[in-house]
Amino acid sequence: MLINLHNFIVIKLKKMKKQTLILALFIATSGAFAATTNNVPTTKQEITKDGIVFTVNVTSNKGVVAGALVKVTLDGKAIGVGTTDANGNASITIASYNRQLVKIEVTHSMYKNENKSDVVIENGSTIAFVLKAKTESVDEVAAREAEHAAREEAARKAAEETNKQKEEIKQQTEKAKQEAEATKAAADQKSAEAKAQQEAAEKQRKETEERLAAEKLAREEAAKKQQEAAEARRQQAEQNKVEDVSKEAKLTAKDAKQEQKEQEEKLKAAQEQAKTQKAAADQAAKDQKAAEQAKKEAAKDQKAAEKAKKEAEKAAKAAEKEAKEAEKAKKAAEKLQANIEKLDAQQVKIDESRKKLNSQQDKLQKQLDKGKGDAAKIQTKMAGLDLKHAKLDESQVKLDKKREKLIKK
């Protein structure tokens, strides 16, 4: 019966473990929502708790019962354990107790289990239990074997669940690593594109400046030559005018008429030349205006290129920040994986220890069933194994709390 009780506790704890993992995953996914809620202040009240000592007396219809295991639990946690002596008495000490409602369980392989719930224990009191003898039937043996198979199945499912969680964390870690590498590659690409744009804009600006400078120099040279030619023509005209006045005194009337005609033609030619020069000057002014407009466009292009450069640098910084965050997330995932592997190693130790205890209990139970050995000594050994099981239960609870706390982070 002790084995049945222990197996029941193990199954319950494993179910609680699975529920705790599900709850932890739910808390992790809803962390963003929880972060927006207001923290409610709590007040911690100090309660003074004193230790107590009391006695549990166990008898049956045949007399006192020695070797019975007595366990006191509070909220499912063992706070006191003892084994009855030859007089059927077990002295229980509870180091810290404040009159809470507890449950007292008495188990013995030769008797049916008895328990009392919602008990308030008085210091120095004696609490009596009367056990009834039991005879294990074929159905009970079958039920025990079925319970054992169910426990092994639950352990197998728990192992599969743990392996599944490890695989999911591994996939998340790999995904975070790939995203970090992709973000870094994108940042490098953007940086290269920005640099190329900047170099192209700088090249275009220099080419535009060189072209405008060459065009301006050519216009200035052309204007200077036109001015020199105009000045030479003016001087020649003045010289011709003086010579014409001198000739007029010597020419005859016919020659004067011919000379006047020639002068009119020269004047017309000079007017045409002046018109042509004016058109050239207007074209030069137009070209100058176009050059200034081109210069403005080049300056505008340069500003656009500088703006594109700044935006590219900004994008590169953002990409670098994302890469750092991705690297941080990767390290956090790797750290979480390492911590979970440590807890898994502790879980393996607990499972192996529990397996050994189960094997020892099964062996002792077979000795009792076959009537081999001293029953009282066997019961004492089984009670000791139950105590070890209780310690493993406490270790399991602590391990589950560590795992829950780790996932919440």
Q: Tell me: the pLDDT tens digits for 292-340? A: 888 888 788 888 878 988 998 998 899 889 889 989 988 988 988 899 8
C-alpha–C-alpha distance, residues 121 and 107, integer Å? 19
Contact, 357 vs 385, CB < 8 A? yes
- Kindly list the domain boundaries of the chain, sorted by start residue: 1-10+50-135, 189-251+265-325
Number of other CB atoms surrounding residue 405 within 10 Å: 10
Which residue carries 């030069």 as its tokens? 284
pLDDT of residue 33: 35
Which residue carries 């077979």 as its tokens? 366
**Residue 23: band (very low, low, confident or very high) from pLDDT cuts 50, 70, 90:** very low
Contact, 357 vs 390, CB < 8 A? no
pLDDT of residue 223: 65
Q: Computed over its alpha carbons, how large is the radius of gyration of the chain? A: 53
The predicted model gives 254-273 an average pLDDT of 77
Judged on CB neighbours under 10 Å (0-12, 13-18, 19+), 65 is buried
User: Is domain 1-10+50-135 given the CATH code 2.60.40.10 in the classification?
Assistant: yes
pLDDT of residue 78: 93
Lowest mean pLDDT among 35-44, 361-370, 396-405: 35-44
Strand partners, 63: 60
**Residue 289: band (very low, low, confident or very high) from pLDDT cuts 50, 70, 90:** confident
pLDDT of residue 42: 37
Number of other CB atoms surrounding residue 109 within 10 Å: 23
pLDDT of residue 294: 80
C-alpha–C-alpha distance, residues 331 and 173, integer Å? 9
Which is higher by pLDDT, 5 or 370?
370
Which is higher by pLDDT, 19 or 242?
242
Classified as helix, coil or strand, 101 is coil
C-alpha–C-alpha distance, residues 170 and 328, integer Å? 16
Side-chain-side CA neighbours of 341 within 13 Å: the count stands at 9
The predicted model gives 266-282 an average pLDDT of 79
Q: Tell me: the pLDDT tens digits for 182-217? A: 988 988 998 888 889 889 878 888 887 888 678 778
Q: How far apart are the first and last CA of the chain?
A: 41
Lowest mean pLDDT among 1-10, 63-72, 124-133: 1-10
pLDDT cut 70: percent of the chain above it: 80
The predicted model gives 124-151 an average pLDDT of 76
Lowest mean pLDDT among 140-149, 164-173, 187-196, 235-244: 140-149
Lowest mean pLDDT among 67-71, 98-102, 289-293: 289-293
Which residue carries 């426990």 as its tokens? 151
**Residue 256: band (very low, low, confident or very high) from pLDDT cuts 50, 70, 90:** low
